[in-house]
């Protein structure tokens, strides 16, 4: 009888450990998804870090370079991110914007799909208002 009780106890411990591990993995996947959905990003990003979100489809910073298909943005942590756009990419300001508003030195926030090389293909780019001289953006 003691042998059966020991086997049942071991099976119960293994089942509880497996359920705990599975629940932890499920919880991690749900929290990443909800964060990504909140910012229109792919899973795994956190707001406020690495210029808005490190490897996800979200970036905020100042434009440091521009060509006819992309802009390069300097992130708050000093890094940079390439953001590709198309004629269909929505550009907004507090009033309607256009691709012509994407100029070097302009502060923007981009949202779209993260590419495997770390760049972003933008769905939207928001032109942010210029800050008064001598001020810096707040970071968390």
Q: What is the pLDDT of residues 95-104, one digit of tens each?
A: 667 888 888 9
pLDDT in tens, 75-93: 888 899 999 999 999 887 7
Residue 116 CA to residue 122 CA, distance in Å, equals 14
Q: Domain coordinates of the chain in residue numbers?
A: 1-130
Cα 118 from Cα 69, distance rounded (Å): 16
Mean pLDDT confidence for 95-115: 85
The whole-angstrom separation of Cα 61 and Cα 52 is: 8
Of residues 45 and 38, more confidence is placed in: 38
The residue ranking higher by pLDDT, 64 or 2, is 64
| 127 close to 104: Cβ distance less than 8 angstroms | no
Alpha helices for the chain (secondary structure H): 2-39
């Amino acid at each position: 009888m003691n042998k059966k009780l020991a086997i049942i106890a071991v099976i119960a411990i293994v089942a509880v450990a497996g359920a705990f591990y599975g629940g932890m993995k499920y919880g991690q996947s749900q929290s990443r998804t909800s964060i990504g959905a909140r910012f229109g990003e792919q899973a795994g990003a956190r707001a406020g870090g690495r210029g808005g979100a490190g490897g996800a489809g979200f970036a905020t910073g100042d434009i440091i370079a521009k060509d006819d298909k992309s802009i390069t943005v300097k992130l708050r942590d000093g890094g940079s991110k390439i953001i590709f756009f198309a004629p269909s990419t929505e550009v907004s300001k507090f009033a309607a914007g256009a691709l012509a508003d994407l100029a070097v030195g302009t502060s923007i926030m981009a949202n779209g799909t993260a590419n495997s090389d770390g760049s972003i293909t933008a769905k939207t780019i928001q032109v942010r208002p210029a800050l008064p001289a001598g001020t810096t953006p707040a970071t968390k």
